[in-house]
Amino acid sequence: MPITEADVEKVAQLAHMEITPEELKIFAPQMADIVSYVEQLNEVATGNVPPALGGFTPEGEATDSARDDSPAPSLGQEKALAEAPDAASGHFRVPKVL
């Protein structure tokens, strides 16, 4: 089923992105083109092929990345807040939630 402008609007909302009516007119046909292109995968018989889990090599999958659950030095509050658009009293400040 081809992607419509209504689909694109809904997806933008799910992605927390506002899009302008002009953008909608451009994006909807482009996304419809791309989605119809990727639908060529339907012609591949995949049966019970287990899905690949990323680009992992067998050695990568075998690597144990677990570490001890023990405290260690981290970035610290000052550095963590240094790039925030609005920091206050040691916190990230955001507009009203409700």
Partner 1 sequence: MSETKTDIGALRSRISSGATTARAVVESSVKAAEKLNEQLNAFLEIDGNGAPKRAEANAAPDGVLAGIPVAIKDNICVEGMQTSCGSLILGNYHPPYNATVIERLLGSGAVVMGKTNCDEFAMGSSNENSAYGPVRNPWDTTRVPGGSSGGSAAAVASGIVPVALGSDTGGSVRLPASFCGVFGLKPTYGRNSRYGLVAFGSSLDQVGIFARTTEDVARVLGIIAGRDEHDATTADVPVPDYLAEFSANVKGSRLGLPQSLFGEGLDPEVRASVEAAVAVYRDLGAEIVDVELPNAQYSIAVYYIIATAEASSNLARFDGVRYGFRAEEAPRLREMYRKTREEGFGPEVKRRIMLGTYVLSAGYYDAYYGKAQQVRALIKEDFRKAFESCDAIITPTSPTPAFAIGEKVDNPLAMYLNDIYTVTANLAGIPGISVPCGLSSNRLPIGFQLLGAYWSEPTLFKLAHAYETAQPFTERPPVCAE
- Contact residues for partner 1 (CB under 8 A)? 3, 7-8, 11-12, 14-20, 23, 26-27, 30-31, 33-35, 37-42, 44, 46, 49-60, 62-65, 67, 75, 79-80, 82-86, 92, 94-97
Task: Please give the angle made by the CA atoms of 53, 56 and 57, to the nearest 5 degrees.
Answer: 135
**Least gap, CB of 35 to partner 1 (angstroms):** 7
**Least gap, CB of 17 to partner 1 (angstroms):** 5
**Least gap, CB of 34 to partner 1 (angstroms):** 6
- Residue 8, burial from CB neighbour count under 10 angstroms (0-12, 13-18, 19+): buried
Question: What's the rounded Cα separation, in Å, for the pair 98 and 28?
Answer: 32
Rank residues 54 and 71 by Cβ distance to partner 1 and give the closer one.
54
CA 23 remoteness from chain centre: 20
